[in-house]
Amino acid sequence: MKAVTERNASQINGFFPLFLWIAALIFNCYLIYFGASTDQPMVLWIIFPLFTFLALTMNSFFIVQPNEARVLVLFGKYVGSVRDEGFYFVNPFTTKKRISLRIHNFNSEKIKVNDHDGNPIEIAAVIVWRVVDSARATFDVENYEQFVAIQSETAIRSLSTEYSYDSHDDRPSLRGNTVEISEELKKQVHTRLEIAGVEVLESRISHLAYAQEIAQAMLRRQQAQAIIAARKKIVEGAVGMVQDALRMLSEQKIVELDEDKKATMVNNLMVALVSESEAQPIINTGTLY
């Protein structure tokens, strides 16, 4: 496929040609009136060619609004694009296609896909984009707006299979790393849309949830994983506290503990720190006689 890159088209300001066109129209009307009043057939040889010229050049004028481009094609050949706003005059046989350079929003539908762990999830995203190359948007793809929609959904599906919905370890996840996921989505969508002369300004996930058929089961799983992760943190903290307690007792020489007493103390401290119920202290007051 031949790649087409945008370039500036040659055009002239349309106000002076418009003045000439109006003058020619007035002159043609005068000839019609003069020919009808004097009944001179020779005037018709001027009226009809001039009228044909005026009808053809009427299509030569066009207006470019801000954040808009006109792609000019002459007899099937791309001759350039006009980006600067204004009133212009070009060859009357030139086709002028309007391309919007404004910022667009694409809000995808909810897509059901499988994440990295194989769990069915629902995901949707918002893509903010604009056309930066009017020639590529016109000639390299059939319909650039439809191309943006299809390729964006493809990128969303591809991204969803690379990450898990949720993760309690150090792996990035769709729910836990929104900034990184948004940047990765933007990169993937931009790579796919670059061929159409489209620039991606922003991308973000607008909807993320487990599919209906596993939503309740995955909610219980999330709760269990959260409990396990929390208990793991509690145990790690309790072990550190016990180590600090034994070290401080040894350094300050508050009490001398043999291995059996250390094991008993470690057991009591771990039960007191890790247990979900409040600890009931037992005070040893000595032996009564």
What is the Cβ-side half-sphere exposure of residue 15, based on CA atoms within 13 angstroms?
1
pTM: 0.68
What is the domain count for the chain? Answer: 3
Q: With beta carbons less than 8 A apart as the criterion, state whether 70 and 64 touch.
A: yes
CA distance 24 to 19: 9
Q: What is the pLDDT of residue 42?
A: 54
The answer to whether residues 187 and 244 belong to one domain is no
CA distance 62 to 92: 10
Tell me which residue has tokens 């039960």. 271
**Block means of pLDDT (10 residues each) for the chain, length 289 residues?**
82 88 82 62 67 83 92 92 92 91 92 85 92 93 92 91 79 85 92 92 89 67 72 73 71 65 66 60 50
The answer to whether residues 192 and 236 belong to one domain is no
Q: With beta carbons less than 8 A apart as the criterion, state whether 138 and 6 touch.
A: no
Q: Which domain holds residue 94?
A: 12-99
Q: What is the pLDDT of residue 289?
A: 44
The answer to whether residues 189 and 161 belong to one domain is yes
Among 73, 99, 125, the domain-final residue is 99
In a domain, 179, yes or no: yes
Q: What is the pLDDT of residue 177?
A: 85
Give phi and psi for 115, each to the nearest 5: -80, -170
* CATH number, residue 171: 3.30.479.30
CA distance 13 to 33: 32
For residue 185, give the nearest of 170, 207, 204 by alpha carbon.
Answer: 204
The answer to whether residues 182 and 231 belong to one domain is no
Q: What is the pLDDT of residue 288?
A: 46
Among 175, 210, 245, the domain-final residue is 210
